[in-house]
Structure 1
Amino acid sequence: MNHIDLILLKSGDSKSIVARSRSNFSSSFLFLPKEKREALRRVYAFFRVIDDVVDEEANPIRKRELLESWKQELENTYRGIPIVPLLKELKQTIDRFSIPKEFFLLLIKGCEMDITKNRYANFSELYEYCYHVASVVGLVCMRIFEYQSATSDKTAINLGIALQLTNILRDVGSDMDKGRIYLPQDEMKQCEISENDLINKTNNIHFESLFNLQYERAKSYYNKARGELTSDSSGKLLAAKIMATVYETILDKIKRLHYPVLHQRVGLNLFQKFFILTRIFFNSSFL
């Protein structure tokens, strides 16, 4: 067994992977039935380990090797012969909810983009990236929620874009430290912001204009997804409502604090998250 295989085996099971993560994603699962909660945990854990390959491995060649190994193990999983503990768990979810292999491959493709691309000329380019790393997650979640309508996939795509745009705005500073700038280059030029301004965290009066553009775009995608999230009376989109509210609250907080994203990562404390969770749960319970 080669070194790459050993790393995959050592990735751990879904519980340990999620426990190591500090994401708002898992808090949205709390009110779901056990079967769906476990399914989402397994899916999130897979997405997490793929993302970690790109973020934690320094050598680009090694990153590609590891991603190829995960692709091969994914193929094994769909053939019914998974080896890695996480994929053995994921196989149960794939079979139960009929999740297409293509969704997982698209996510890996999105993470591969982070190896070769660290600048985006315009929003069209950025949209493609957001679709691969976030909207695809939403499409998988819709299968697990067992929610289907004429517009459910479009809602999943729009919400994924909104969440990823929120992440991008929140993480401007930390992404820049990794050599990545996800802010569209044409909008930086329009707002008279140079890369050096970002790198040096220069006190440029035009920053707020640039960040306002990102804020308004993210809000527009939340608004596009909101109709179906609000009108759902089945309760199947409860976790999606929680996720959308948590991240949109973070987005609004960033704006309210006048975009301190070059110097800090804005988040919510436990009380704020608990308030959101309980409010949405009880509102949904009395529909």
Structure 2
Amino acid sequence: MQAFSKPVTTPASVTLAHTHYENFPVASVLLPAHLRYAVSVIYQFAREADDIADEGDASETERLQALQAYEDELLLIQAYIQAERPLFKTLQHVVHSHKLEVQSLLDLISAFKQDVVKTRYADFEELLDYCRRSANPVGRLMLQLYAADTSQYRQWSDQVCTALQLINFYQDIAIDLQKHGHNGRIYLCQDEMQAAGITEQDLRDERLDSAWQAFFLYNVARAEQLLLAGKPLGRHLSGRIGFELRMIVAGGERIIYKLKRCRGDIYRHRPTLRAFDWPIILLKALFKQ
């Protein structure tokens, strides 16, 4: 099963992506130097755990056992008992040094476990609950690292992180269908699909008629509303974290723009950020739009 890596000793390269652990602005040059190591360690933990849930050919039981081992280590950290494995000893130091909530890390493990066993979501409440554990902890950990963890900031951060997670779902509809065996994963709400007359076979057949386009754009618009609701966070946070957050939000807005333009044809036109998108994103972040 997934091997534990050596403790992180150098920062990871800068990334901006929108899935699970990749919501982290990993060791970005925008981060203060004293936080880059901490972010890199948390990123390594989250990436390894996510890979256990998603990568390789391990059985469902093996994946769950490996993730339970990660959870057990986190519970040791939470109880102020010495962690046993190298990565978690390093993570324990980061958690205690920065007074981070271990529950946020436990929530990530809960989401990764769910990815192993759950491939369908009955309604939007179920999907939001998954986002609460798979995406929102990332923003909360960053707020804690920056000593900016207020109730209002958490609300805005949760809205941004949930929106980014939803955006990624819509980018990866075709990719997720290939995961978890022949069933695939579908992060669209089953009740809404049924009401719109959209079936799972329609997704596999790459349906692109007006009914699918309307359903797809409805979902994108809902994610956009969440992103806009959390957008004030980037204007209220000062310094590097505010700029970093505005870059992330502007990147999300750019993907939304491309999702709208493709009008549901994410099978042949999966929206991604390209070189020419970054000047647009930078300008929006600089002028606090």
Q: TM-score, structure 2 length as denominator?
A: 0.85
How far apart, CA to CA, are the structure 2 residues paired with 1:180 and 1:199? Answer: 12
C-alpha separation in 2, matches of 1:89 and 1:68:
19
CA distance in 2, matches of 1:142, 1:242: 16
In structure 1, what is the equivalent of residue 53 of structure 2?
54
For residues 241 and 162 of structure 1, the distance between their equivalents in structure 2, rounded to whole angstroms, comes to 14
Paired position in structure 1 for 2:169? 168
Matched, 1:91 2:92: yes
- Superimposed CA distance per residue, residues 138-173 of structure 1 (whole angstroms, 9 cap, x where no aligned partner): 111110122133401111211111110111111111
SS at match of 1:32: coil
Shift of 1:82: 3.2
- Percent pairwise identity: 26
Distance 2:185 2:12 in 1: 25
Matches within 5 A, 1:216-235: 216-235=221-240
Q: Which moved more, 1:160-169 or 1:93-102?
A: 93-102
* TM-score after normalising by structure 1: 0.86
Counterpart mapping for 1:56-75 below 5 A: 56-58=55-57, 59-75=59-75
SS of alignment partner, residue 40 of structure 1: helix
Q: CA RMSD in A?
A: 2.6
1:108-257 equivalence runs, <5 A: 108-178=109-179, 179-257=184-262
Shift of 1:234: 4.9
**Higher helix proportion:** 1
Segment of structure 1 superposing worse, 76-85 or 31-40: 76-85
Deviates more, 1:147-156 or 1:97-106: 147-156
Q: Counterparts of 2:14 and 2:26 in 1: how far apart (Å)?
A: 14
Looking at structure 1, the residues matched to 27 and 226 of structure 2 have their Cα atoms a distance apart, in angstroms, of 19
How far did residue 87 of structure 1 move?
A: 2.5
Consecutive unaligned residues in structure 2, runs of 5 or more: 19-23
For structure 1, list consecutive stretches of 5 or more residues without a partner in the other structure.
none
Q: Displacement, 1:107?
A: 1.1
Q: Aligned equivalents of 1:75 and 1:126: distance in 2?
A: 26
- 1:97 deviates by 1.7
Number of aligned pairs?
Answer: 277
Distance 1:20 1:66, change over 3 A: farther
Q: Is the 8 A contact 2:171 2:271 kept in 1?
A: yes
Change (3 A) 1:237 1:162: same
Cα separation, partners in 2 of 1:164 and 1:52, compared to 1, 3 Å:
same
Q: Aligned runs of 1:12-27 on 2, under 5 Å?
A: 12-14=6-8, 18=12, 23=17, 25-26=24-25
C-alpha contact 1:197 1:204 (8 A) present in aligned 2: no
Query: 1: CA distance between counterparts of 2:217 and 2:8?
Result: 37
